[in-house]
Amino acid sequence: MSDTLTLLLAWLAGVGLGGMFFGGLWWTVRTGMSSPRPALWFLASAVLRMGAALGGFFLVSGGNWQRLLLCLLGFVMAKPVVTWVTRPPGQDRTRRDQEANHAS
């Protein structure tokens, strides 16, 4: 497999890991807040999400720092995407518009 394709796949794996991690966090907050035992939800979710992310980084990197770096980059790039996808309906304005309205 070519080096470029391998690095692209590492980046895509990072995007997937980030989507799983931050999507799981969003789901945990929504579910855990209405649970009779929220601490258990948050603890179990944190352990599972971190274990899956770290295990994914280990598998993807294979000892290669370039693949690890691109995987981490994809992971971080997934956060704003998940934040945008999971925003509440009616929150279409940009942050700058909200801050400007708040100041007046």
**Is 95 part of a structural domain of the chain?**
no
Residue with token string 């799981």: 24
**Is 18 part of a structural domain of the chain?**
yes
In the prediction, which pLDDT does 104 show? 53
**Is 93 part of a structural domain of the chain?**
no
For 59-70, how does the pLDDT look when each residue is reduced to its tens digit (9 = 90+)?
A: 999 999 999 999
Mean of pLDDT over the chain: 90
Residue positions counted in the chain: 104
**Is 90 part of a structural domain of the chain?**
no
For 3-27, how does the pLDDT look when each residue is reduced to its tens digit (9 = 90+)?
A: 999 999 999 999 999 999 999 999 9
Are the CB atoms for 60 and 67 separated by under 8 Å?
yes
Q: Which residue has the higher pLDDT, 103 or 11?
A: 11
**Is 92 part of a structural domain of the chain?**
no
**Is 63 part of a structural domain of the chain?**
yes
**Is 100 part of a structural domain of the chain?**
no
**Is 58 part of a structural domain of the chain?**
yes
Q: What is the pTM of this model?
A: 0.81
Cα distance between residue 30 and residue 47, in whole Å: 17
pLDDT at 39 over 90: yes
pLDDT at 97 over 60: no
- For residue 31, the enclosing domain spans 3-84
**Total tally of structural domains belonging to the chain:** 1
